[in-house]
Amino acid sequence: MVSDFTKNVNTVGFNDTGNWMFAGAEDRVAKIIDWRAGGNLWITRIYQTSSSINTMLLHRNQHEILIGTSKGEVIVWDLRNNAANSICTDGQNEPIHSLSIDQEVTSLAAVNSAGQLIVWSLTGDSAWKPIEKNRQKIHPTYVLKVQFSPDSTLIATGGGDGKFNLLKTADFSLVTTRQGSPSGHHWVWDCAFSADSRFLLTATSDGVARLWNLETGEVPVEYKGHQRAITCMAFRDHSLKSM
């Protein structure tokens, strides 16, 4: 066991070198666990939020972590001094479910239970003081996932309405909306782009992962075998190694 939490752990991740990991839970606690000290596990940082932690994202600078909470907060946690800055998303306290930063590290996106997509501009090598540049309702209900494409031209979102959307980052106009499953009744829980941004992998509550050709809208591959919902996935396109 790496570390004890008193309630469900909702999110985990690793730094680029794999020397430490972060985790956040429903008990409102975020932790940094480091194992570089002679193979022992050390909790080197702890941050207490005011509500359940739904998602966490490590900035490319490796010292800032973005935290999304059930009260609709996006918190920037600076590991260098254990300081934190809360970004107010709205006054409705709609839970944040997913966060994403584009490859150019110029934009931060968040999605919430109200069906909203919020995008901020990032200045310099930091997310400490982002500037909101877009807010729009893109699903009628929960948005569960947001992801920038590797070429930074698209944003994908998956929702509880059984659909996924693609938007242009240039003007946030809608490119396409598609049903995540044949019936359209299954939630789209997760999604990930291929390295060339031409394909999108989706995970839905019908237990199927699908690879979408974004140019044609066709599904050349379906990954079946799960008997229950697929609520998350980890995907790495090996061609990223050459980028």
pLDDT of 196: 95
Let me know: does 64 contact 83? Beta carbons within 8 Å.
no
- The string of pLDDT tens digits covering residues 225-235 is 999 999 999 98
Instruction: Assign a CATH topology to domain 1-97.
Output: Thrombin, subunit H (2.40.10)
Q: Where are the domains of the chain?
A: 1-97, 138-236
Residue 170's CB: how many other CB atoms inside 10 A? 9
Q: Could you give the CA distance from residue 94 to residue 72 in angstroms, rounded to a whole number?
A: 5
pTM of the model: 0.93
- The string of pLDDT tens digits covering residues 94-131 is 999 999 999 999 999 999 999 999 999 998 888 888 99
The string of DSSP codes covering 67-88 is EEETTSEEEEEETTTTEEEEEE
pLDDT of 239: 64
Indicate if 138-236 has the same CATH topology as 1-97: yes
Residue 5 confidence class, pLDDT cut points 50, 70, 90: confident
Strand partners, 209: 203, 223
Instruction: Assign a CATH topology to domain 138-236.
Output: Thrombin, subunit H (2.40.10)
